[in-house]
Amino acid sequence: MHTRTALLLLLVVGGLAAGIWWQIGREQAATITGERALVPGVEKSRVVRLRVDNLAPSVQLAMERDEDGT
């Protein structure tokens, strides 16, 4: 193996390692900050019922809050 090929391979592996390190840092920062709104601008206290219809496999899912708000 030539020196140039080894250096190029080392550079590629280093770039991949740096990308993985950066992504892990982003994921850890996201879990530290807590919850994140899926639909910005909607107050979660106003949501009473959520219904999801997936037409391809014919699956329906519904979630509803009770009187306690849970």
- Which has more pLDDT, 35 or 42? 42
Q: Is the pLDDT of residue 44 over 80?
A: no
What residue spans define the domains of the chain?
3-64
- What's this model's pTM, rounded to 2 decimal places? 0.42
Q: Is the pLDDT of residue 35 over 70?
A: no
- Give the integer Cα–Cα distance in Å for 36 and 4: 46
Helices within the chain (DSSP H only): 3-33
Locate 51 and state its tokens. Answer: 């219904």
Listed residue (48, 52, 69, 49) closest to 60, CA to CA? 52
Tell me what the pLDDT averaged over the chain comes to: 85
Distance of CA 25 to the CA centre of its chain: 13
